[in-house]
Amino acid sequence: MADISDILALADDTVPASLERLFELLRIPSISTDPAYAPECRKAAEWLARQLRDIGFDASVRDTPGHPMVVGHRASKSPGARHVLFYGHYDVQPVDPLALWDNDPFDPAIREAADGARVITGRGTSDDKGQLMTFVEACRAHLETTGDLPCSVTILFEGEEESGSPSLKPFLEANAAELKADCALVCDTGMWDRDTPAISAGLRGLVGEEITVTAADRDLHSGAFGGAAANPVHVLSRIIAGLHDETGRVTLDGFYDGVEETPSQIKAMWDGLGMTPERFLGPIGLSVPAGEKGRSVLELVWARPTAEVNGISGGYAGAGFKTVIAAEASAKISFRLVGRQDPAAIRNSFRAYVRAMLPADCTVAFKEHGGSPAISLPYDSALLGMAKAALADEWPNPPLVIGMGGSIPIVGDFQSMLGMESLLVGFAQSDDRIHSPNEKYDLASFHKGISSWIRILDALS
């Protein structure tokens, strides 16, 4: 077996060829949410399958009711080698509004950013084509140098992540035996800053609920009926206001069951990052944290549960003024979960709370919008320790162990359906403008991302 320095040297020498391959993939407008681009999604899947076959994987395009999956396998020759499943997605967000792009979103190029950094521009550069190709190129460097991989690798690329992944869970259920591995690797995450890699040890779960409160059988004149008829907007407002107490804690019965305190050493590490409320909230025009009192902003978004109102409707909201008591009012409410909070228990507790708040003559209807538990990797996990050591050898600063305020449901599915822990390592930057016009990916993120995965695969062996 060649020394890892030989593999890293090959990756360095072949960055131009790696970029050419990435640009080929970026030129395919694989927008999953628009049916008009279904042929392009298949084209991207077939392109990836060919790339995997070219480097020695047994790879194929698998049809689903939606866009196809790409599955590839390559067994290591090393006896007892660890088996990893790598996940990424080849679909991208729509590019609207097109007029706000500086260049054609599907004509990638390398440009110089305002801060002097060299960046790859185009839709999908950071989310997620550039990221997934760092892993493919790392496997290529291993195989071209040694003829082998240090771990047995299964690759799963999906084409519906940006449109809700409707085909993913059925696909996992139908192919669980084939896809199960010792652990999963997920690249759809980011770094702390340009010189500091990050490993995401926690993802918040999610419960989505839409409620509609109904009173009278039609909209009413507020002069003729005001003061006598129940007003659903008032009822809904009281329900929403009662979700939090004066300290910012959520009031639902049992809401904090399964919520554990973040270890003191982890909180100390986060506190040492210098993320003040002003630094975190200033760029969006705010300055004072609105959540639980006595918590840092990083703890609030990485390690604490939330209840947020995402939208309210009811009554007349058009131009001018209309004195009306609406027949119904609606709200969309989401809960971000941490630790061992049970999505079903949270949903049931919320619905019981709403029903208890209803006055006479009012009814409520509920609509479920998904639910997934939080995911956490133990801070003392051997998997995490190996990845930290590998990343420390590649980047100027040692890696941070962070949380993520968002949710990646596939990670929960890997745990619940395939019994696998997931290692979340990505190389996106906070200013990559994912889902927005002028998306970009730092050239250094792509180059050093390849080297990072070379090191991680070697460490996991």
Residues 215 and 361 reside in one and the same domain: yes
Residues 356 and 233 reside in one and the same domain: yes
Instruction: For residue 285, count CB atoms less than 10 angstroms from its CB and return exposed for 0-12, middle for 13-18, buried for 19 or more.
Output: exposed
Residues 337 and 387 reside in one and the same domain: no
Query: What gap in Å lies between CA 184 and CA 86, rounded to an integer?
Result: 6
User: Is residue 110 in a domain?
Assistant: yes
Q: Which of 158-172, 224-238, 375-389, 442-456 has the lowest mean pLDDT?
A: 375-389
Pick the more confident residue, 65 or 411.
65
Residues 145 and 253 reside in one and the same domain: no
Residues 297 and 218 reside in one and the same domain: yes
Q: What is the CATH number of the domain that holds 222?
A: 3.30.70.360
Residues 122 and 74 reside in one and the same domain: yes
Owning domain of residue 241? 205-265+289-372
Tell me 37's DSSP state: G
At 132-151, the pLDDT tens digits run 999 999 999 999 999 999 99
Q: Which two tokens stand for residue 412?
A: 């929960």
Residues 313 and 189 reside in one and the same domain: no
Point out the domain boundary residue: 345, 372, 399.
372
CB 157 within 8 A of CB 171: no
User: Is residue 282 in a domain?
Assistant: no
Residues 170 and 250 reside in one and the same domain: no
Q: Is the whole model's pTM more than 0.85, yes or no?
A: no
Point out the domain boundary residue: 350, 372, 394.
372
Point out the domain boundary residue: 372, 395, 418.
372
Q: Which two tokens stand for residue 315?
A: 């009554």
Predicted local distance difference test score (pLDDT) of residue 71: 98
User: Is residue 318 in a domain?
Assistant: yes
User: Is residue 88 in a domain?
Assistant: yes
Per-residue pLDDT for 407 more than 60?
A: yes
Query: What gap in Å lies between CA 116 and CA 80, rounded to an integer?
Result: 46
Residues 127 and 191 reside in one and the same domain: yes
Residues 362 and 437 reside in one and the same domain: no
Per-residue pLDDT for 2 more than 70?
A: no
Predicted local distance difference test score (pLDDT) of residue 269: 85
Residues 58 and 196 reside in one and the same domain: yes
At 319-378, the pLDDT tens digits run 999 999 999 999 999 999 998 999 999 999 999 999 999 999 999 999 998 788 888 777
User: Is residue 272 in a domain?
Assistant: no
pLDDT interval class at 454 (50, 70, 90): very high
User: Is residue 137 in a domain?
Assistant: yes
Q: What is the CATH number of the domain that holds 195?
A: 3.40.630.10
Per-residue pLDDT for 98 more than 70?
A: yes
Residues 135 and 223 reside in one and the same domain: no
User: Is residue 319 in a domain?
Assistant: yes
CA 117 from chain centre, in angstroms, equals 25
Instruction: For residue 451, count CB atoms less than 10 angstroms from its CB and return exposed for 0-12, middle for 13-18, buried for 19 or more.
Output: buried
User: Is residue 12 in a domain?
Assistant: yes
Q: Please tell me the total count of domains within the chain.
A: 2
Name every residue whose Cβ is closer than 8 Å to that of residue 377 and which is 6 or more positions away in sequence.
201, 202, 383, 384, 421, 422, 423, 424
